Structure 1
């Protein structure tokens, strides 16, 4: 947010009728210099954010942690965890919800403080630091819904997913007690593993952390008069589309008496296309996700759906009886389902391996260049030098931010003590939760994970891309091969994946939040405590929300279900591959996997070599998702992209300001409707109407049967 300053200088009469020519020239020169100095000062002020807030007192780190902030965070956490859980169990694509968290946190607390202010009961004003605390807490708690593996490794351990795979005997009964205990044991260690590196990443290396930076700019703008006015309008728009989306979900529910009923079974592109999962789903949540995701993501999903369900699977189905046996059942991995699952895995692994090597190389080169720069700029240490004061060449904003950021650093004894304590507790506790996960597996993971956590946090600061799932997949293959099939390698590798994913994911999230705190003058201690409390909330709320889904929908995880959880079967079969090798693959499946694995690497390589022109090339990771699930949700997401594209052509400024808000409203409304729908399912209340669509020939036979 810039400060508007008039560039018109007031000229006063000096009171003399006549002056010497030299004096006049000197005065003109002096006035010109003064004007230039004023212009330079004004230019600095125009680009300065902290000058807007320079008259506001920054509260201490304890005063930034208010009771109202955590009450609001709790209710918003429930909302966002439900949304993330639904996306986990449907498509596995989860957009950034930071904008919604910051906006809703601002709205609720601002409304509350205005009410107290009118009642003369307001003690503490609502600050941007408190807003940052709320956003951090909500994002930390909803992040557990992803890293907790409810749509991937954790659900992949269940009996229902085991029955869909080739190894149906190695499973663990899901119980809410051990799930909560597991998350508490593994979710906090990532916070302590990188907390001492906050100064290195944020101040020394000046990493951008695009999401954290964008969130900080959003929060800063909210707390200016102009930003507050825009935020009010945004909240009204969000509320409108939240209500419409919620009511639309309620309306759709009435027509879904069985799985094949309702608007989601509407053959909008024809019955033959519907058989191959090409149809518009009428889902507000997918349209909203499509409006938030970049265009190339949505196009990649659609291209992947066309390539698989429009071309590859129909051709492979013609080989039935030659490549695989007939009538094995739709969930058997020795038939067409095996091709769908393992080819998708091959593309995901190829894309993940390429980006892992690319990001790791980028990280090491950047670290090397920065270390060389530091050596060139190093000077002899001075005994009385104050290392906490910012260097004089920094701008006003950087001086103020650096000073306050270094003021409240986390004590080393807290970071080291917390790290060692959690490592000791988890090494002892995890083998009791998973007998197959031996203590020496955990010890090896804990020896390696700090380096990987820093690499992930550093890479996220450069590219805004967390590779937590890639580190998890590498752990699956490593521990699976080490343990072997005879020692419960499938469960051991999935549990080890959870340990690694939680460590590296929370580490990058924490650094994002530190960047947000740095730019909003929120104390690192306040951000760390908020992250810890949010993580604790997520460790309890996420399993409870998952348990509602798990009990309300008995067919959870199957392809015919409303919640197919595609990544659960993918992660489980990765574990089976790591343990047993390729012996269970159907005929020619391995050859196709090799081809698609290499194709994923080649596509990424070409995309990078083409530079800016490569932005039009689809992403293999996104293309792989419809290979198993089908392209129906990709069509909805492309509709969302089309809406945003047309809106930007009509009024780009309005689309930029309200596009993410409309998308958030659609996502939140449809997502929160899932909660009452689950409660109704648990209570045995079923929708009263089944809306089906039949071909003309089928309809004639049905009429004839009913007539008889």
Structure 2
């Protein structure tokens, strides 16, 4: 997610002058060493499990998840300083790259395998509208589906690495930011390519730091070296203590508030807006949720993204929702996704998402064709791949991997859904389409830090409206395959960018991604199965808003019916979204600093899908992020804000597991005092 770049940034003056000497030092420092170690993999799986539950929890609530690569690297570093962690040899930056690769692969499976959108959408099918009853997957069916789509995108990333990371040197802002953060925490020289060309990081700028002890300087005497080592160890211990304290307090505060809100739901459903007009909470779904986790998400997203989200929230919930209700276009209760205003404004959100996805992908498609036709000249500053061949992924590996995972994917999808999910040849076309769209998604991610997986899935849905007309299930499944491939390929490409900057073996990262994805299949399916047993999905507690987006488009492509007057607003909003997206793309590609303030269409549309409380809490976090960095800058002090935000997010996500156990055991709210009827899901 993009955040505000620093107001004043400049590369350290000595870096350009000493670039060649520094490169030799860097290569010597990053000589091959053990990277894929147990002390990197096991904490990565542990952190990934926390992220998996957290992403599933928030994804089912709002449809928005995060890679959390920065947070994974940060938690991994703090774990390496904890008592009892193996200290010899020293935990390296390259091991931290492996750790966060495993964690991201494990934590993002809820979106990659569609458990926050595709799977809930299949459970909403009905015979009258879709010609098919609900499809509810059992545990092993879920494992079969997740396994069918979990690895295809991983092997897609390997052949793209040389083109987009080595030859074109695309920035991949989040991957670059993670590399910057890891280099700071491990007291290593800034990544080589960043020292020649400053790349703004989306989570704060860690390249403009005071010289580290790893920089070339006058040789020290043995006594000075010992004193420096003692001082460094003392500073590490101090940093670790402060880091754990900040993480612990923020985690505990968020967890305690979540647990209190479970037993007293009004804490997360405060009808504060009723002071302006009675009934805003009960009738129009305007309440305030002081969730620290959503404040933390706002900090991670940054002020520009949260501002876009709240502009969408105000447009959807303060203008279009009352307009559709009072005009009789959406006569049902406001929160009803079928006949109410919430379902009516969903169509406007869908048009915005599709329009922006198409506009943002057009330059990527043009460049891809230019490269294929050989019309684009090589960049004069193109980097050479300095990795040893035995650390790279051999061509035959990814070729066989693509072939095997494609065949197993087609067989797996057909085995789970049979002909309901489309003919075998059509499923095969879906994987082929997913591969092509994944390439576009990777390039968009590399340039803009946004992987338009939802938009890519909808492009696949449009194709399958022609290949398998009238088959809603096949249409949704086709979109899910494309989304899974783009998500997995994008995740690994961000990690490969981090690894490239810190000289980590791409082969070790491939192993890490495969291991994390395999492990996460069972964690994700098991977690979703627990939530499904305890709560109706979609339902009041977990509305799964993106499920309605997938299903609504599939139904539109099947019978072409729209709610009254929604078509006019879809056309108008699509036209406006195209203009704004074109302006944003042009500004980003031209390097204008104000590009970050042009509203994001995806974030704007998410504001429509979620009730106002979620967006308001995130805006608070965005404002905190903006004010903090204006005061403290984006140097080393910026790390502490990331720690606090991570504790907020992980606290509620982890405590949700405990509340899930309470719900399954039949332990409900202790009191419904203060709750307005129909708002609190537990009352």
| The two structures share one fold, judged by TM-score above 0.5 | yes
Aligned to 1:331: 336
Match of 1:637 in 2: 618
Moved over 6 A (4+): 39-42, 366-370
Residue 468 of structure 1: how far off its partner (Å): 2.1
1:181-212 deviations in Å (ceiling 9; x for gaps): 11112211122234133233322222222222
Contact 1:164–1:333 (Cα < 8 Å) also in 2: no
1:625 aligned to which of 602, 606, 609 = 606
Distance 1:522 1:609 in 2: 34
How far, CA to CA, are the matches of 1:328 and 1:104 in structure 2?
Answer: 44
Residue from 584, 587, 610 that aligns with 2:564: 587
- CA–CA distance in 2 between the matches of 1:650 and 1:523? 38
Pick aligned residue for 2:243 from 234, 239, 243: 234
The question of 1:454 aligning with 2:431 is answered: no
Match of 2:122 in 1: 157
2:47·2:103 contact (CA, 8 Å) conserved in 1? yes
Q: Distance in 2 between matches of 1:196 and 1:330?
A: 46
With over 3 angstroms needed to count, the CA separation of the structure-2 counterparts of 1:40 and 1:522, relative to structure 1, is: closer
Name the SS for the 1:265 alignment partner: coil
User: Structure 1 pair 82/694, CA: closer, same or farther in 2 (3 Å)?
Assistant: closer
- Report Cα offsets for 1:448-499 as digits up to 9, x if no partner: 44333333223322222212222111112221343222xxx11111111121
Mark the CA change 1:164 to 1:245 in structure 2 (over 3 Å): closer, same or farther.
farther
Mapped to 2, the partners of 1:338 and 1:641 lie a distance apart of: 28
Specify every segment of 5 or more residues in structure 1 that has no aligned partner in the other structure, as ranges.
Answer: 1-38, 378-392, 696-708
Hey, what does 2:158 align to over in structure 1?
A: 195
CA contact (8 A) 1:313 1:336 kept: yes
Q: C-alpha distance in 2, partners of 1:284/1:163?
A: 37
Q: Secondary structure at the match of 2:653?
A: helix
* 1:5-47 superposed Cα distances (whole Å, 9 cap, x missing partner): xxxxxxxxxxxxxxxxxxxxxxxxxxxxxxxxxx989941799
Post-superposition Cα deviations, 1:484-537, rounded to whole Å, max 9, x if no partner, equal 22xxx1111111112111112211222222222222221111111001101111
State the distance in 2 between where 1:96 and 1:332 align. Answer: 28
Distance in 1, matches of 2:141 and 2:598, equals 44
Q: Determine helix, strand or coil for the equivalent of 1:111.
A: coil
User: Structure 1 residues 595 and 458 mapped into 2: Cα distance closer, same or farther (>3 Å)?
Assistant: closer
Task: Pick the aligned partner of 1:564 from 539, 543, 552.
Answer: 543
Question: What CA deviation, in whole Å up to 9, does each residue of 1:137-192 have, x standing for no partner?
Answer: 0001112121111111121101xx33699448443122121111111122111222
CA spacing shift, 1:516–1:115, aligned 2, 3 Å = closer
Q: Which residue of 1 aligns with 2:348?
A: 343
Task: After superposition, give the CA deviation of every residue in 1:282-332 in whole Å (9 maximum; x if it has no partner).
Answer: 111111111111322212222222222212221222222xx46x5689636
Change (3 A) 1:614 1:146: same
How do 1:645-664 and structure 2 match up within 5 A?
A: 645-653=626-634, 656-664=638-646
Summarize the Cα distance change of 1:291–1:164 in structure 2 as closer, same or farther, 3 Å threshold. Answer: farther
Cα 1:642–1:458 change in 2 (3 A) is: closer
1:251 aligns with 2:236: no
Shift of 1:624: 1.9
Contact 1:154 1:494 in 2 (8 A): no
Aligned residue number for residue 378 of structure 2: 373
Three-state SS of the structure 2 residue aligned to 1:410 is coil
User: Within the alignment, does 1:355 sit opposite 2:360 as a pair?
Assistant: yes
TM-score by length of 1: 0.79
Residues 307-326 of structure 1 correspond to what in structure 2 (within 5 A)?
Answer: 307-320=315-328, 323=329
Secondary structure at the residue paired with 2:494?
helix
Contact 1:77 1:141 in 2 (8 A): yes
Confirm or deny that 1:109 pairs with 2:80.
yes
Q: Distance in 2 between matches of 1:342 and 1:125?
A: 54
CA contact (8 A) 1:434 1:495 kept: no
**Matched ranges for 1:59-138 at <5 A:** 59=33, 63-111=34-82, 116-117=86-87, 122=88, 124-138=89-103
Answer with 447-456 or 220-229: which moved more. 220-229
> Matched residues in 1 for 2:439 and 2:59: separation?
26
Aligned to 2:32: 58
Q: Indicate whether 1:432 and 2:440 are aligned.
A: no
Q: 1:362 to 1:170 in 2, by over 3 A?
A: farther
Q: Residue 404 of structure 1 aligns to a residue in which SS?
A: coil
CA gap 1:482/1:171 in 2 versus in 1, 3 angstroms: farther
Q: Report if the CA contact (8 A) 2:251-2:650 is conserved.
A: yes
- Contact 2:461 2:476 (8 Å CA) reproduced: yes
Hey, what's the Cα distance between the residues in 2 that align with 1:295 and 1:88? 20
1:419 and 2:396 aligned: no
What does 1:459-608 align with in structure 2 at a 5 Å threshold? 459-485=444-470, 489-554=471-536, 556-558=537-539, 561-581=540-560, 583=561, 585-608=562-585
Structure-2 residue corresponding to 1:44? 18
- Decide whether the 8 Å contact of 1:102 with 1:215 is kept in 2: yes
Give TM-score scaled by structure 2 length.
Answer: 0.82
In the aligned structure 1, how far is the partner of 2:20 from the partner of 2:624?
35
Measured at CA, do residues 273 and 359 of structure 1 come closer, stay the same or move farther in structure 2, by a change above 3 Å? farther
Give the conservation status (yes or no) of the 8 Å contact 1:477–1:579. Answer: no
1:164 to 1:692, Cα distance in 2 relative to 1, 3 A = farther
Matched, 1:690 2:664: no
Distance 1:217 1:677, change over 3 A: same
Measure, in 2, the Cα distance between the counterparts of 1:70 and 1:676.
26
Equivalence for 1:172: 135
Structure 2: unaligned runs, 5 residues or longer:
1-12, 188-231, 678-683
Report whether the alignment pairs 1:441 with 2:446: no
SS in 1 for 2:377: helix
Task: Judge conservation of contact 1:222–1:231 (CA < 8 Å) in 2.
Answer: no
Q: How far apart, in 2, do the equivalents of 1:52 and 1:606 lie?
A: 40
Structure 2 CA distance for aligned equivalents of residues 56 and 198 of structure 1: 20
Whichever of the two has the greater Rg, that structure is: 1
Q: CA deviation at 1:612?
A: 4.8
For 1:660 and 1:635, the matched residues in 2 are separated by 20
Over 3 Å counting, the alpha-carbon distance change for 1:135 and 1:515 in structure 2 is same
Match of 1:143 among 73, 84, 108: 108
Q: 1:235 deviation in Å? A: 3.6
The structural deviation recorded for 1:373 is 2.9
CA gap of 1:336–1:458, structure 2 versus 1, over 3 A, is closer
Q: CA deviation at 1:66?
A: 1.7
For residues 402-413 of structure 1, the aligned pairs below 5 Å read 402-404=385-387, 406-413=389-396
Q: Which piece of structure 1 moves more, 139-148 or 418-427?
A: 418-427
Structure 1 50/245 Cα, relative in aligned 2: closer, same or farther at 3 Å? farther
**Equivalent pair of 1:286/1:633 in contact (CA under 8 Å):** yes
Q: Secondary structure at the match of 1:64?
A: coil
1:552–1:681 contact (8 Å) kept in structure 2: yes
1:676 and 1:619 mapped to 2: Cα distance?
A: 35
DSSP 3-state at the match of 1:639: helix
